Every structure is written in structure tokens, then in C-alpha cells.
Structure 1
Amino acid sequence: MNIKFRLTLMSFLQFFVWGAWLITIGTYCFNAKGWTGAEFGAIFSTLGLSSLFMPALTGILADKWINAERLYGILHVCYGLILLYVPKVEDPNTLFYVIFGAMICYMPTISLSNSIAYTILKNNKYDVVKVFPPIRVWGTIGFIAAMWITNIFSSPTPPSIFKDFGLSVGNAISDISGSPIYANQFYIAAFMAIVLGIYSFTLPKCPPQKTISEDATFVEQLGLTAFKLFSSYKMVLFFVFSMFLGGALQLTNMYGDAFLNDFAKIPEYKESFVVEYSTIIMSISQVSETLFILAIPFFLKRFGIKQVMLFSMIAWVLRFGLFAYGDPVGGLWMIILSCIVYGMAFDFFNISGSLFIETTTDSKIRSSAQGLFMMMTNGVGAYLGSKISGFVIDNYFTHGGIKDWHNTWLSFAIYALIVAVAFAVLFKHKHNPKDVESVSH
């Protein structure tokens, strides 16, 4: 079988098994279980907690002791088995530990999948710079496909395409599994994760490279030498803003689908397209993401790294602000536009931030510095964003069990605006077109 096709399938499934539940777990916790924002925030914070240490630990394992594709397969099988247990959990405190276990298995596979793809492509004499991006795009497509399938098979309202049959597909699966249809998202993800785990054992071997010298210190083995970057004022600012933006990303992942589903509680919107196909509406964000990736080279060359990062922050303001004023009828365009600007909000900071690290750090610690960047966004930022937002929503924007989504999103927009203004004023970085050219070649 063609190597590129096999890696494309791996990339597709890698994000399919995450997209099947990541955006919709909020709806599950709020609507199916009736849990509070703080309880859900704690559960969602496991993504950040696991990102603090697991990628580094699995990186050491793959570098020194075990084939990357085997470790990847073991982690996905374990991830799938843990997800199978999720629908049986009735207590939010227990679910915290269950999801934490799942995230310990899943989060390191994101970087492992990249490493596996790079290794296999290089071993087969492919130009990684040209060949890998089209392969990676299929990961986003997999995420979108999972969201669509979840919406169809886990919706409490039978999608209109199935109404003529007198029974929704979601209810049919519910009858088989004996669980609420909201739980189908976890069964879908679990099944495909186990399939991916088994499939990975058939990939070309990626043996340990032993890139870490035998006499390296424990600190060097863990990649902690990059922490010396915190002695630079400019780098401290960059990592602090990375943390703030990591928190913003969690807000939209946590509450987007639950926000759209809550329109069902308003009679005039109960049967609207937005409520019936909330996850499909949210998937516009991922479609936008794939399109904005193509625009990044132009923006970087024209405006520079700092301006592109600032564009991302402004896009977050629009993302939240448009949600605050959108509704399924007259304000549908705001909801859709919010999903479109998400692509700029997500891609522009992640990629320009990665480029900033690439062009401003010593080559000896560059990989570790990139890991530190991801730790601040997906680790510290994600954890704080999850915990603090849950507390704020429970104490300030929930009244009589009803969430005030308008003021919730408005407060998030104000937060993003403050971050953007502070970044524009405090962060100094001169645009140098050669930086972009040096990385693109």
C-alpha cells in the first residue's frame, strides 16, 4: 500500500478519535448529566494536565527504548479501552480521573504521530516539507468527519434525514448499547481508537534513534534546558501570552457546542437548524482552519510574526463577541462568522508562535523550546482556562440553573481584547522577512 496513503489514514484517524467527543463533551456533562461548570471545568482541565508531562515522557521512551509506532499503537488501544468506560461513570469526580487516564494516553500521540510520519517519509526519500502538510490536513478533515458523525449518531433530536424511518439512528444505537444517546460519542471514539492502535502495528518500523546521549544529565533528557529561556524578558512575555491564548482555545472547545444546544430551551429556537445540527455548525471552525493555513505564508511575509499573532488575538475577540450576540434565526450569520474567524484565531498564533521559536532560539534547545511553547498553551493555559472558566460561569453567569451565555461570551471577548491590547503594547519584535524565508526553504 502507498506510504503516503497509509500515513494519511493515520492522520485522519488520529484526530477523528479526538474530534468525536472533544467539542461535544460539554453537552454530555451539562445536558445528559446536569453537572456544574466547575465540575466540567475540572474534567476538561485533564487535557492541560496531561500535556504538562506526558509528551516529554513518551518522547524519551521513543528516543531510547521502544519503536515509536508500537508505543503509538499501545497508547491508542489503552485510550480506546478507557473511553469505553466513560458512559458507565455517574460521578463527575470519578469521570475526572477516567478522562485524565484517557488524556494521558492520547495527548502524547499527537506529537508521536508527527514523529512517525517524519521518520517514515525520510526513510522513503520523500521531501517532508512538501509531502507532510497535505497528509496533516487530513487530520483536520478527520476531526470534522467525527464531529458530523457524532452529531448524527448522538443527537437527542432525530435528524430530519432519519425522521421518515420513525427512529433516529442515535436512538437505535442507544437501544443496542443500553446507554443514553449522548454517550455514543465515546463509543464511536473508542472503537476507532482501538482500530487505529491495531493499524499502527502494521506501519513501517520506527526504531529508537537514541538522539539523547548516554552521558546527558537528567535535566537534559527531559528537555528542561529550554527553561533557561525564562531568563529573557521577551521570551517570558511570549510564553505568558501563549498561556493566555491557550486558555482562550479551551473556552471555545469547552462551551461552543453546549452553547448552541442550549438554544433548544428557548421555544422559538427549539427546532432550528442550529440546535438540530449544532456540532455540524461548530465543524465550520475546523473547515476554516484548513483554509487559513493556506493564507499564513502571505500574511507572515506581508505583516511579520508579531502582527500575525496580534491578528489571531483580535480574531479571538470576534470569535467570542459574535457568539455573544448570535442566535439561530436573525443572528445566524454571527454564529457562522464566529466559526469562520476561528481558523485565523487558532492557526495564526500557533504557527506564527512556532515560527517565532524557530527563529529566535538556539538550535541546541529548539526542539525543547517548541515543547515548552506547547506546554504553555496546551498545558498551563489549557488547565487554567478550564478551571477558571468553570468557576466564573458557575458563580457569575448561572442563574437558577440557566446559563447566561450572552454575558459569558461577552466576558470572554473582553478577556481576549485585554490580552490583545497588552500584547500590542508590551511585546516588541521587529519584522524580518528573512526569518520567514529561512524557515520555508
Structure 2
Amino acid sequence: MPLATRIKLSLMMFLEFFIWGSWFVTMGTFLGYNLQATGAQTSAAFSTQSFGAIIAPFVIGLIADRYFNAEKILGLLHLAGAALMYMMYISDSFQLFYPAVFLYMILFMPTLALVNSVSFRQLNDPEKEFAPIRVWGTIGWISAGLVISYLFHWDSSEGMSQGLLRNTFLMASLASLALGIFSFSLPKTPPRAEKGQQVSIWNIMGLDALKLLKDRNYLVFFISSILICIPLAFYYQNANPFLAEIGVSDPTGKMTIGQVSEALFLLLLPMFFKRFGFKATLLVGMIAWALRYTLFAFGDAEGGLWMLIVGIALHGICYDFFFVSGQIYTDSKADTKIQSAAQGMITLATYGVGMLIGFAIAGQVTDIYLQADGLHDWNSIWLIPAGIAILVVLFFLVLFKNEVLRKKSESQTVKQ
């Protein structure tokens, strides 16, 4: 690959995740402090991610794959996103904020697939060449958190009292504008599907892969994937507001430890996967969810700060060992004709259905444990997702039969 192309793709990934990391991590804190949003309203705002994930396949399958170059659609979506992000920046009530964030996530979620499409079309050996490009996305997310906490101090007690956390949306708007313009200079990525080719809604949503659910092991994994998204939603929605409320300094910056951990454990995953197998890998990932929330429940901003830091650092195990392993498992179970459909189905089930349920529960729980002084009973809040994670562990441990995964070239998996 030419160096200029590699640089362009890396910058595209950096900006894509810099934008997301600029506002998504701190949105819960902003809504509570600046717009006095309830837990239910905050969960509604985060649930827009799920609606975006559900609608995204239609944007990709009906438009990007059939009529227009991927880089052009990427540019247009980010230009429109910049305007919506600015509307979020100037919103002074949740009633004005919510329509903007809803429309924004409908436009943003398809861009996650588009940046991958643009990248893969330029790669000769994706297995080797994609990771060094994709890692710039993680660096972008980390950079956004460091900028918020350590450069501008928007999430400090003083910054939040002055309403400076609102500036995260302005920063994301400017970055989205930059990526929107930059996208038109990316390598041309024309659609591959023929314009007259018939395609069904069933195909677009990846539902051709439903036949995988006839396999008992995969059905257990599929249900576990949806259920584990409930604890995941608690982290996305409540972690930053929790750290800010109990007085942890530079909470957004500290949360970038999770992304550093994610990158490191992604490198360790193949070794662990090969040595201990799929079932053990997923169990470790799910147990890590229960452990991190237990640490959150009993940690504090002083003597228990180490517990909070360890809980954040467990993000790499929580995410990589379950979700990335799940993608590998899904790929191994699906034959070549439905591999793409299978990935679409598991994404729809987790980020769509699972997270939608999770955010709704997290919002209700957060409201229930709101105290008279305006603070939350975080010990009780965090023990609930910890308990849910333990139940998912037991469900998976008992019902999933250990199996050895075959390579793609081998059509069947062999049970031990």
C-alpha cells in the first residue's frame, strides 16, 4: 500500500473515533449537571446508539453498497453530523438535545461500517494490514479523553460548575466537519453490488444467519451476548457521571485507561484463545464484568481509588475476551455464504437489542437509587449489573458445551 494511502486511512480512523470519544463518554455527566436530566432521560439519550445500530444496515445495504461511493457517503454523513453536533452544543434543555442526538446517531452509526469498507478495499492482506490502521481509532478515542481532562479540564469540578463540559460537543462538531471535508480526498470506493440486483430486508439485516441458532451452543452464546449487554450499558451510561460525582479528578482522562487496556488485551487474545479455548475465554470476559462492577461498588476517590482504576483497566478483558472472541466464534460457525450476514446479526442483537434493553434498565436503576440530597447510592447501583453478569456466567457455564473451533476452511466444529 502506498504510504500516502496508509496515512489517509489512519487519519480517517483517528478522526472517526476522536469524534465519538469527544462526547459519548461524558454525555451522561453533561446531561445530569447541565440539563438536569433524569436517569430515564439519560438512558433514552444513550439508547439512540442502539437505534442507530438497528438502522445502520439499511443505510449500508440499500445505499452505500449499491448506489454511491463509500467515501462520499462518509463525507456527507459527517458534514450533516457536524451540524447536529452543533445543535447539541447550543441545546439548553433535554427536549432540544434529544432530537439532535437521535438524528446524529442515526447518521453516525453507519460511518463505523463505512470507514472499515474504505479501508478493506485498499488492503492486499487485511489480516496483517488492518490492525495497524484500526489502532489509530483507539488512539483517537484516547486522545479525546486526554484533551478533555488534561488540556482543557472541562470535566474538572470547576469546569463543570462553569458549564465547560458543553464544549465537548463543539470539539466533536469541528472534528466531524474536518472528517467530512477530508473524506472526499480518500481513495475512491465505488459500490460493488449491481444497481438492478434484488436485495431483501431479510438479507440486509443479516437474518439469513438465523439458521445458526439451530446449533444449541450458538444459541446459548447468542442469548448470553444479548444479556451481557445489560451490564455493558451500565458502564457506558454511568461510569463517567459516577467518577465525577464521587470526586475523582480528571475522570474522562482516567477512563482512557480502558482503551489502552483494550488495545493491549487485543494483542494477548490470540494467545489466550489458543491455549485455553473459546469457552474459557468468554467466561473470563464475563467474570471480568462482575469483578469490575464489584470494584466500582466498593471503591472511592481516596483510599479506594485503586479499585476504580483496576475496574477501568478491566475494560480490555471485558470487551476483547467476550465481544471480539464472539466475532471470531460467529465467523467460524458460519459458512462462507452467510459470514457477513452472521456478523450483521450478532451486531444487531448486541448493539441494537441488547444495549437498548440495557440502557432502559440502567436508567430505571439510576433513578431508583437517586437520594434526597441529589446524589446516588452508587454501591447499590453497581451491585445490580455485577449480579446480572454473575447470572450470565452461570447460564453460559452450565449450558455451553466446550468445543474446539476449526479454521475457516473447515466446515464443521468438533465437540470435545
Q: Is the 8 A contact 1:361 1:369 kept in 2?
A: yes
- Equivalent of 2:219, from 236, 248, 255? 236
Tell me the distance in 1 between the aligned counterparts of 2:302 and 2:181. Answer: 45
**Matching of residue 28 in structure 1 with residue 69 in structure 2:** no
User: Is the contact between residue 281 and residue 325 of structure 2 (CA under 8 Å) also seen in structure 1?
Assistant: yes
Count of aligned positions: 408
Q: In 2, are the aligned partners of 1:397 and 1:404 still within 8 Å (CA)?
A: yes
Q: 3-state DSSP class of the match of 1:354?
A: helix
What is the SS of the residue equivalent to 1:64?
Answer: coil
Going from structure 1 to structure 2, the CA distance change for 1:82 and 1:417 (only over 3 Å counts) comes to: same
TM normalised by structure 1 equals 0.87
Task: Report the Cα distance in structure 2 between the residues aligned to 1:314 and 1:156, rounded to whole angstroms.
Answer: 31
Is residue 311 from structure 1 mapped to residue 284 from structure 2 by the alignment?
Answer: yes
**1:375–1:10 CA distance, 2 compared to 1 (3 A):** same
Query: What code does the residue aligned with 2:281 have?
Result: V
Task: Tell me how far 1:36 sits from its aligned partner.
Answer: 1.1
Matching residue of 1:135: 133
2:58 & 2:322 partners in 1: Cα distance? 22
**Which of 230, 233, 236 does residue 247 from structure 1 map onto?**
230
Give 1:214's aligned residue: 197
Residues 96-125 of structure 1, C-alpha deviation per residue, up to 9 Å, x if partnerless? 22111010111111111111100022xxxx
Deviation at 1:350, TM superposition (A): 1.3
Aligned to 2:105: 103
CA distance in 2, matches of 1:252, 1:239: 21
Q: Could you say if the C-alpha distance between residues 383 and 217 of structure 1 is closer, same or farther in structure 2, counting changes exceeding 3 Å?
A: closer
Offset of 1:128 from its aligned partner? 1.6
Match for 2:73 among 71, 74, 79? 71
Tell me how large the CA RMSD over aligned residues is.
Answer: 2.2
Deviations 1:180-236 (A, max 9, x none): 311001000110011001101001100011178724445335543223334444333
Offset of 1:416 from its aligned partner? 0.9
Residue 263, structure 1, aligned to residue 266, structure 2: no
C-alpha deviation, 1:87, in angstroms: 2.7
What are the equivalent positions in structure 2 for 1:43-54 lying under 5 Å apart?
Answer: 43-54=45-56
What's 1:162 paired with?
none
SS state at 1:336 partner? helix
Contact 1:154–1:185 (8 Å) recurs in 2: no
Kindly report which structure 2 residues correspond to 1:223-372, keeping only aligned pairs within 5 A, or say none.
Answer: 223-264=206-247, 274-275=248-249, 277-372=250-345
2:331·2:339 contact (CA, 8 Å) conserved in 1?
yes
CA contact (8 A) 2:230 2:361 kept: no
- Counterpart for residue 414 of structure 2: none
CA offsets 1:148-189 (integer angstroms, 9 cap, x no match): 112243526488xxxxxxxx8x99xx8xxxxx3110010001
> C-alpha displacement at 1:255, in angstroms?
0.8
Quick one: which amino acid aligns to residue 366 of structure 1? Q
What is the distance in 2 between the residues matched to 1:55 and 1:87? 28
Alpha-carbon distance in structure 1 between the residues aligned to 2:358 and 2:145 = 23
CA contact (8 A) 2:231 2:386 kept: no
Structure 1, gaps ≥5 residues long: 160-167, 175-179, 265-273
Taking a change above 3 Å as real, the CA distance of residues 215 and 278 of structure 1, as seen in their structure-2 partners, is closer
The 3 A distance-change label for structure 1 pair 9 and 134 is same
Give the Cα–Cα distance (whole angstroms) in 2 for the partners of residues 435 and 312 of structure 1: 22
The 3 A distance-change label for structure 1 pair 249 and 211 is: farther
Q: Give yes or no for the alignment of 1:153 onto 2:152.
A: yes
| Equivalent residue, structure 1, for 2:62 | 60
SS of equivalent to 1:50: helix
Structure 2 unpaired stretches of 5+: 412-416
Amino acid at match of 1:250: A
